Amino acid sequence: MPNVMTPPFDRRIGVPLLSRLRTERGQQDPFPIYARLRTEGAVVPAPWGGFLVTRFGLCDEVLRSGAWLEPDRHWRERQGLSTRWLAPSAREMSGTLPALNPPEHTTVRRTAGAFDRGTVQGMSETVARVTDGLLDTLADRLRRDGEADFAALVGEELPLATIGDWLALPSADRPRLRELTHEQVFAQELLPSASQLARSDAATAELRTYFMELVRERRTHPREDDPVSRWITTWDDLEPDQDKADEAVYFLALFVLLASLETTSTLLSTMTFLLAERPERWDLAAARPDLASAFVEETLRFDPPTHVISRVAAADCTLGGVAVRTDETVHLMVGAAHRDPARYRDADRFDPFRTRPAHLAFSGGIHYCLGAPLARLEARTLLRQLVVRLPRLTVVRRPTMAPRVAFRRLLNLDLAFA
Ligand code: HEM
């Protein structure tokens, strides 16, 4: 095999870059760090083992290929008790859809049911009504205080109300569920600290109790037009053991909540930040409502909510000329791949007129995000209403970013009338 890079590698290459990436400052603008990482190679050895994949073509290839697997419960067990993979929260995640591999993944994904055109259309009225109400609050606050935090008032609220209504979760429970989601996500981060994992463990335990109770309640009192009641019927046909059926429904409900909240909030706030940051973008969006989808897609490319997706090698192989052994991890650096000049012309420019806008924000292959149509609906609805209802807004101060790597999060987005 010509030009294959084999161990031992210099794993220190990425240390300074990753140390910067995981700080609040690094997250303010991670793209120069990604550019440096790309110059180190298409497949860069990670300091802790495994590899970082920086190029679009290779990330896309890994996502679409059966030669790469999700780090599932068998893989996690092989990593050993002392690793983060066997923390209670990480173990719990191994029961959810994106931690399953075929054939189990195929069965469970079929039972989830997709957000098809009909389902999404049915939700569009709720999304429009909720958006309208949230923008009323935002406008009131802007008038009253001279500035308002879009992330708290709209970005965090719209996804919560949308998924809360769909799952028919009592309104009073929702703020707590949002807090728990913020805590839980650490188990899915690239480099969680021990204390972050402990917070995730506590949140995961509370979420299990909540959703197991919800499943039991819906089993006793099934509702019409309720996904949880439908999942119970579906799983009862597949699984004779009722406890196991309930557990399967619990994992679906839990993951739909976790998957939809932070990611969609980040999309909504990032999109609004990009608009408010440059008057010409806001004016273009206001003048051209037909570009709403293109604005959403370019936001998803330019700065996606999820910057890292991980896979493990099913067998010894090479990737981009680098030898990878069975069970070794590759971290697909989606945020870097989306700025890959080999894929996108003028990749660092926000350009809603791109002729080749396809991206990896919703992953690819068999794990392609089930909620993508819903996230897109929320973002499009918000964008259209925002630029019609309000005059141009401007960013008062740069948002503070959560010091994480995989899941981007704006902790605030303070806006004012321009
Ligand atoms: C902008 C918002 C969103 C982003 C960026 C996003 C991103 C992703 C990504 C990257 C994956 C794949 C992970 C992997 O390949 O390992 C995924 C999977 C998934 N997402 Fe989303 N997501 C979003 C919103 C949603 C919403 C609103 C829902 C549900 C209502 C949802 C439900 C799911 C589910 C169930 C999966 C697992 C699919 C599988 O493993 O087969 N997502 N999402």
List pLDDT tens digits, range 128-162: 999 999 999 999 999 999 999 999 999 999 999 99
Q: Which residue's alpha carbon is at the smallest distance from atom 19 of ligand 1?
A: 369
**CB 309 less than 6 A from any atom of ligand 1:** yes
For residue 31, the enclosing domain spans: 15-417
Q: How many other CB atoms sit within 10 Å of the CB of residue 312?
A: 20
Question: What values do phi and psi take at 211, rounded to 5?
Answer: -75, -30
**What is the number of structural domains in the chain?**
1
Distance 97 CA to ligand 1 centre (A): 10
Query: Does residue 322 fall inside a structural domain?
Result: yes
Query: Does residue 5 fall inside a structural domain?
Result: no
**CA neighbours closer than 13 Å in the CB half-sphere of residue 299:** 28
Pick from 68, 119, 369 the residue to mutate for probing ligand 1's pocket: most ligand atoms within 8 Å of its CB: 369
**What is the rounded CA–CA span in Å between residue 330 and residue 50?**
6
List pLDDT tens digits, range 239-295: 999 999 999 999 999 999 999 999 999 999 999 999 999 999 999 999 999 999 999
Distance of CA 198 to the CA centre of its chain: 21
**What is the rounded CA–CA span in Å between residue 228 and residue 296?**
29
9 contacts: CB under 8 Å, gap ≥ 6: 45
**CB 109 less than 6 A from any atom of ligand 1:** yes
Query: Does residue 157 fall inside a structural domain?
Result: yes
Residue 13 confidence (pLDDT): 78
Query: Does residue 329 fall inside a structural domain?
Result: yes
Number of residues assigned to the chain: 418
CA torsion through residues 136, 139, 145, 150, sign: positive
Q: Which residue's alpha carbon is at the smallest distance from atom 37 of ligand 1?
A: 98
**CB 271 less than 6 A from any atom of ligand 1:** no
Residue 1 confidence (pLDDT): 46
Query: Does residue 1 fall inside a structural domain?
Result: no
Query: Does residue 58 fall inside a structural domain?
Result: yes
412 burial via Cβ count (<10 Å: 0-12, 13-18, 19+): middle
Is the per-residue pLDDT at 6 higher than 90? Answer: no
Query: Does residue 10 fall inside a structural domain?
Result: no
Query: Does residue 395 fall inside a structural domain?
Result: yes
The beta-carbon contacts of 342-345 under 8 Å, at least 24 apart in sequence, are: 342/55, 342/56, 342/57, 343/55, 343/56, 343/57, 344/56, 344/301
**CB 162 less than 6 A from any atom of ligand 1:** no
The CATH number of whichever domain residue 48 belongs to comes to 1.10.630.10
Is the per-residue pLDDT at 114 higher than 80? Answer: no
